[in-house]
Amino acid sequence: MLEPIYIGNNSKERYTSHAKAWDTVLIRTLFDPAAAHAILKIPIPQSEVPDKIIWTKTTNGIFTTKSLYRSLADLHGSTSMIQSYSSTTFPWSKFWQCKQISPRVLYFIWRVLNNAIAVRHNNNKFIPALIAECPLCHMHTETVDHLFVRCSFTQALWFASPLGLILDKEDSCSTLLSSWLSTPDGYTAFHMAACLMWSLWKARNNLVFNNVQPNFQIILKYAASIFNDFSDQSSSLVDHSTELPNPSADAKWMRPPPLVVKINVDASFKFPQAACAAIARDSAGKFISCSTQFLKASTPIEAEANAFLLGINLARNLHLPNCIIEGDSLSVVNVLNNSTNPAPWRIRAIISDIRNMRLIISVSFVFTSRKANSVAHNLAKHAFMFKISDWWMTPSPPSCIADAILSDRSTSLFHE
């Protein structure tokens, strides 16, 4: 087992406090090149944040016995240790209160959460001669979390679905389903996700037993059928069509209220680089300013968090008395709007800086769909392609987003 090595009292001795940057010479003197490279990628918060020991096996950095169990099982390659995804922290009471969902689908999700379905990893524990690789990607062992969250086929399916999810490698079935059940308006998303997982399981079995290749459209159509059959008949979401209801299909950019500026933010990411974009517009939809930043990042959520940091920096530079910062990363928005829950450890420093600036700037953080965030998306994509870090204060926006801004102005919704 690796033991932490402490040099000096805390990490502050290894960065220059005035410049708020790592002491590159000292880091490279103390550590081997690989470790030094990893350390230098860690962002240092500009605000004073006390050092904190984190547990990297969980997203929020808090130690849990379950994460330790999983880590030990992975470390020793044990096939006798049976994982259980059932947890006292999972909102089971809300889970069993779900009424507008097929009982067999709900029971299936319960089995998924308790690792009680016949994925190949589970079968291989009892019959070692059986193949354990995923039948969809043929690259990794088929565990419950791999099949429903981490498989490349599954991730593409989640993205193509009305939920439009971009999943992180640290996500799991339990954390995803729990996040929806824990929010007041998350039942519809939970219902959609459950139907999609059920449909994926059927397609997976059809591949394994009948050699029928899975098809995105068929999986989504079957999921839509199950969803519509058990939705509230009075609900406006249900149209009994061949597609899942998609609340963001007709989403449009909404103008801010009078005297308020809206800053849309987004990020483009491809390991190990990212580009962030922030664009400010007034209540008439007119361009005020925009900013981009090209930087290093290890995960998509780091890139998205940096986009919100860029947005609040833009608000500060413009001396805005009141603004809205809007982006399509629900994870980051939830963290910023709920200070009681610990931020994921990978973005803890970034979130700390944003919260610190929020004390001097009147700002609200709002989630929007990708379609309603197209201007920021286009600017981030352009900045990534050409590695641009810049700030525009000209009357006219960059040419790469000029048409998108005009489109938003002509089709945007007015704030009520």
* CATH code, domain carrying 383: 3.30.420.10
- Looking at the structure, tell me whether residues 125 and 218 fall in a common domain: yes
- Looking at the structure, tell me whether residues 295 and 213 fall in a common domain: no
**Nearest Cα residue to 144 out of 200, 183, 95:** 200
- Looking at the structure, tell me whether residues 394 and 268 fall in a common domain: yes
Q: For position 312, what pLDDT does the model report?
A: 97
**What residues pair up with 295 in beta bridges, in sequence order?**
274
- Looking at the structure, tell me whether residues 275 and 220 fall in a common domain: no
Q: For position 237, what pLDDT does the model report?
A: 32
> What distance in Å separates the CA atoms of residue 79 and residue 107, rounded to the nearest whole number?
26
Residues written for the chain: 416
Structure tokens at 31: 């550590």
- Looking at the structure, tell me whether residues 28 and 121 fall in a common domain: no
**Nearest Cα residue to 376 out of 322, 326, 317, 324:** 326
**Nearest Cα residue to 394 out of 309, 291, 307:** 291
> What distance in Å separates the CA atoms of residue 165 and residue 148, rounded to the nearest whole number?
12
| Number of other residues whose CB lies within 10 A of the CB of residue 118 | 12
- Looking at the structure, tell me whether residues 171 and 305 fall in a common domain: no
| Structural domains of the chain, count | 3
Q: For position 265, what pLDDT does the model report?
A: 98
Which amino acid does the sequence have at 395? P
Q: What are the residue ranges in the chain where pLDDT is below 50?
A: 1-9, 13, 17, 77-86, 233-245
- Looking at the structure, tell me whether residues 202 and 268 fall in a common domain: no
Is 51 a member of any domain? no
Cβ–Cβ < 8 Å for 303, 274? yes
Is 252 a member of any domain? no
The parent domain of residue 204 ranges over 89-229
Instruction: State CA 392 to chain mean position distance.
Output: 28
Is 234 a member of any domain? no
- Is the backbone of residue 285 left (phi > 0), alpha (psi -120 to 50) or beta? left
Q: In what order do the strands lie in the sheet with 323-327?
A: 363-367, 323-327, 261-270, 273-281, 287-296, 390-392
**What 8-state DSSP symbol labels residue 267?**
E
**Nearest Cα residue to 327 out of 344, 296, 304, 299:** 304
Cβ–Cβ < 8 Å for 295, 340? no
* Dihedral over Cα of 341, 342, 346, 350: its sign: positive
